Amino acid sequence: MPRSGFSILLTNSLVGVLVALVIIVVLSSLISPYFLSSYNMSVVARTLAFIGLISVGQSMLLILGELDLSLGMIGGLCGVSAGMLMVNIGIHPAVACLMALALGALLGFINGLLVAKLWLHSLVLTIGTAGIFGGANLVLTRGVAITGIPSNLQYFGRGDILGLPVPFVIMLVVLAIATFITLKTPFGRYMYAIGNNAAAARMLGIKVERIRILVFTCAGFLAALAGILMVARLGTAQPSIGESWVLPPIAASVIGGVATTGGVGTPFGAIIGATIIGIIENIIVLFGVSPYWQGIVSGVLVVVAISFDAISRRYIRREE
């Protein structure tokens, strides 16, 4: 029997989220005449880039069946570290950024190592490491922003390439690489296998611990990249960078069809989810609504997305 349109949406979450994105764009353009302006689209794209980079890393972890709540704090700490290396110590910006990226990868590696070797629950562990990384940020800066970021670095946060914001272009490149890895390489297949059943994957000879460590390391690297780009955009290394990067990437991943139980979804879906969140938050700003509502919106979207995921899974099992 041919499946109805509703059943197709339930069993293919990416189709559903793409339809939702189109509807939201159409409604937003009708609600506000400024929404589709080139300036506003540039603002949305530039803002999306930072959450998008974190979402790519978070989505890969969720596919693996893990979760990292410290990515925002890693991004903030690495952004501040890059600023301190450039301004306070006088290291060349390129070298300082490479060192900050290495720090992000190291912090992600530490998270992965603790999860893989000590069998710690990633959710509980990263709550603790988030506090450590956030505290280290405040210790280094004493709560004071670092100013004097070199202007040549600021281009990577404020500049454009062919009319597109540089951070957005960087995010697209990262997304293409991550999507290729997850969908077209043995490493990606191992990630899905581990997310579906880690014990079975281990019996098949997959190096489960090694894959976990590598994915956590990649997520830390992407968080550091987002933090550095935010420093470049602001022109200062703010201690508050990353504080708002905890819930939105998780919401974006879940909205984009990445299952919280692992083994399902793609980084591309996570970016679509991040785009939906970004557009909704942009409409809130265009209407002059308090930005404090953004947290509520993200929370509601997470609840709705998780509920939809649970309903669709029950529907699929019933159909089978």
Q: What pLDDT score was predicted for residue 287?
A: 79
For the chain, 320 residues long, give each residue's pLDDT as a single digit of tens. 444 444 444 445 677 788 888 888 898 888 888 898 999 999 999 999 999 999 999 999 999 999 999 999 999 999 999 999 999 999 999 999 999 999 999 999 999 999 999 999 999 999 999 999 999 999 999 989 999 999 899 999 999 998 899 999 999 999 999 999 999 999 999 999 999 999 999 999 999 999 999 999 999 999 999 999 999 999 999 999 999 898 889 989 988 889 888 998 999 999 999 999 899 888 888 877 776 776 777 677 767 766 766 676 666 566 55
Q: What pLDDT score was predicted for residue 257?
A: 86
Phi and psi angles of residue 316, each rounded to the nearest 5 degrees, phi first: -65, -45
Q: What pLDDT score was predicted for residue 296?
A: 78
Q: pTM for the whole thing?
A: 0.91
